[in-house]
């Protein structure tokens, strides 16, 4: 089958196979968004006089049918079809004849794939935020449930000061707030319309880029047409960094869980059905879920650097290098959501050990508490520090496991509600409802 760009010469099969690579599989991720972009584009073309109203109505009806096919999971790229853009145009031409050939007026495959990518990344960030909010709520619930159960705190992996399961779980909840703030930043970069930049230098057609921005629910445009093309690679990198932040939080939580499950710690345990065994050691209950979360997430953390390296020293304008950015980024969304789902399953079923700090091996966790008691009684801090230190060295240290931490964010004042409000602000700042409403409106066909 000939390509949209092909004239009379024929491309060598080996070159064709190499240049297409895995792009057809990646294009299936973009199918729904390519259709949405075409609906907006043809609507605008009709409004500026480049399509008749009747042509626009026929195109939209056919495009909505293709969208439904994509949503059903039955959409595929036909043999010999180069990409998603070609497939959609071919289906329209088969159904509508010459009218189908008109959808490419005033655009290039460059800005077509750009808008597909922006719409795809936007939708995935929206979906990811929902998964994160579920884990965040669970961590906060468990933080409150276990807020009175003390846990050793460590620095340098050495005993440091008392902590609690509430403080530990609440820390990861608040980490997700900062991660969500970074997702919001990525969302704002992504939620700008590149459509109309054509091959990167605009068009002599009297198109209305503000109109397609409204139709697709974008917050604003990438105004400069050269920068719209330069945004390819940047949008993916910024999005990858947002994913990497969540991945880092999950990887660290998983490492803690692996340690705390270890028999030398014994702080937490899980039902047998959530752990795995050994082929020769009958006592083993391995934390395979957390180990795999850690590894998946560490791989996701490499994505921003990979994208940065693949776009290093590229001048302005489109380059085929950019095609490969999709191959690891696109699947990473589902991998991260899978990790979030499994982490939620484990935390939901986690059992914590009670009264851990009653064991005298943890006595020195309370050394700072004893220093602070002396300071509260009027002794200078350096003198109190020395007094307690000498008592420890002499084997005369005495302590109490009763704690009175009251300041914001401490064991006795977790500030759960305040942290929840910060998460709410981060999510509400993205105004997902506006996008959902606009896409629903875009897909409505005239009666």
The answer on 183 and 65 residing in a single domain is: no
Give the number of domains in the chain: 2
The answer on 182 and 52 residing in a single domain is: no
pTM equals 0.92
The answer on 99 and 191 residing in a single domain is: no
- The residue from 339, 356, 373 where one domain ends is 356
The answer on 246 and 182 residing in a single domain is: yes
The answer on 189 and 73 residing in a single domain is: no
Q: From CA 361, how far away is CA 56, in angstroms rounded?
A: 77
Phi, psi of 232 (to 5 degrees): -70, 125
Phi, psi of 309 (to 5 degrees): -70, -35
Residue closest to 254 by CA, chosen among 145, 139, 339, 165 = 339
Phi, psi of 220 (to 5 degrees): -160, -170
For 288-322, the pLDDT digits (tens) are: 999 999 999 999 999 999 999 999 988 888 888 88
Q: What number is the average pLDDT over the span 148-170?
A: 96
The answer, yes or no, to whether residue 373 has pLDDT greater than 50, is: yes
Residue 98 in domain: yes
Range of the domain at 61: 13-104
Residue 196 in domain: yes
The answer on 197 and 86 residing in a single domain is: no
Q: Higher confidence at residue 127 or residue 15?
A: 127
The answer on 131 and 66 residing in a single domain is: no
Residue closest to 270 by CA, chosen among 164, 341, 348, 165 = 348
The answer on 84 and 187 residing in a single domain is: no
Mean pLDDT of the chain: 92
The answer, yes or no, to whether residue 17 has pLDDT greater than 80, is: no
Q: What is the CATH number of the domain that holds 24?
A: 1.10.275.10
Share of the chain above pLDDT 90, in %: 82
Q: Quote the pLDDT of residue 5.
A: 44
Q: From CA 29, how far away is CA 326, in angstroms rounded?
A: 10
Share of the chain above pLDDT 70, in %: 95
Q: What is the CATH number of the domain that holds 127?
A: 1.20.200.10
- The residue from 356, 375, 395 where one domain ends is 356
The answer on 137 and 39 residing in a single domain is: no
Residue 315 in domain: yes
- Structural tokens at position 443: 């897909």
The answer, yes or no, to whether residue 1 has pLDDT greater than 90, is: no
Residue reference for tokens 């965040």 = 136
- The residue from 341, 356, 371 where one domain ends is 356
Q: What number is the average pLDDT over the span 377-394?
A: 96
Q: Higher confidence at residue 21 or residue 264?
A: 264
The answer on 247 and 194 residing in a single domain is: yes
Residue 96 in domain: yes
The answer on 57 and 75 residing in a single domain is: yes
Q: Quote the pLDDT of residue 277.
A: 72
The answer on 141 and 21 residing in a single domain is: no
In sequence order, which ranges of 288-325 are alpha helices (DSSP H)?
Answer: 288-301, 303-310
Residue 374 in domain: no
Residue 379 in domain: no
Residue 428 in domain: no
- Structural tokens at position 47: 């409004």
Residue 410 in domain: no
Q: From CA 250, how far away is CA 128, in angstroms rounded?
A: 14
């Amino acid at each position: 089958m000939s390509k949209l760009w092909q004239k009379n010469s024929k491309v060598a099969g080996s070159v064709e196979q190499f240049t297409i690579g895995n792009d057809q599989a990646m294009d299936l991720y973009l199918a729904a968004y390519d259709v949405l972009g075409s609906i907006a584009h043809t609507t605008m073309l009709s409004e500026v006089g480049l399509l008749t109203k009747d042509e626009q109505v026929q195109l939209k009806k056919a495009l909505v049918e293709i969208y439904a096919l994509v949503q059903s999971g039955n959409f595929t790229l036909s043999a010999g079809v180069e990409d998603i853009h070609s497939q959609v145009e071919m289906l329209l031409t088969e159904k509508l004849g010459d009218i189908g050939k008109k959808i490419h007026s005033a655009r290039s495959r460059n800005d077509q794939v750009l808008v597909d990518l922006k719409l795809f990344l936007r939708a995935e960030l929206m979906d990811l935020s929902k998964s994160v909010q579920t884990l965040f709520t669970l961590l906060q619930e468990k933080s409150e449930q276990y807020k009175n159960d003390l846990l050793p705190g460590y620095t340098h992996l050495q005993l440091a000061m008392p902590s609690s399961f509430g403080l530990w779980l609440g820390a990861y909840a608040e980490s997700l707030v900062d991660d969500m703030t970074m997702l919001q930043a990525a969302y704002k970069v992504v939620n700008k319309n590149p459509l109309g930049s054509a091959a990167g230098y605009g068009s002599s057609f009297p198109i209305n880029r503000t109109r397609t921005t409204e139709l697709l629910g974008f917050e604003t445009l990438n105004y400069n047409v050269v920068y719209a093309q330069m945004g390819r690679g940047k949008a993916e990198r910024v999005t990858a960094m947002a994913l990497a932040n969540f991945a880092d939080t999950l990887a660290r939580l998983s490492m803690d869980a692996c340690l705390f499950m270890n028999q030398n710690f014994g702080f937490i345990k899980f039902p047998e059905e959530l752990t795995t065994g050994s082929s020769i050691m009958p006592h083993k209950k391995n934390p395979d879920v957390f180990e795999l979360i850690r590894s998946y997430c560490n791989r996701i953390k490499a994505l921003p650097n990979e994208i940065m390296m693949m776009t290093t020293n590229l001048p302005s304008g489109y380059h085929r290098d950019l095609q490969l950015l999709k191959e690891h980024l696109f699947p990473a969304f589902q991998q991260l959501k899978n990790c979030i789902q499994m982490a939620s399953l484990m935390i939901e079923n986690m059992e914590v050990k009670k009264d851990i700090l009653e064991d005298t091996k943890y006595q020195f966790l309370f050394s700072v508490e004893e220093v602070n008691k002396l300071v509260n009684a009027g002794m200078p801090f350096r003198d109190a520090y020395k007094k307690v230190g000498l008592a420890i060295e002499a084997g005369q240290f005495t302590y109490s496991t009763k704690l009175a931490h009251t300041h914001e964010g401490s064991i006795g004042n977790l500030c759960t509600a305040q942290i929840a409000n910060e998460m709410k602000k981060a999510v509400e700042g993205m105004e997902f409802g506006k996008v959902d409403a606009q896409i629903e409106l875009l897909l409505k066909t005239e009666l």
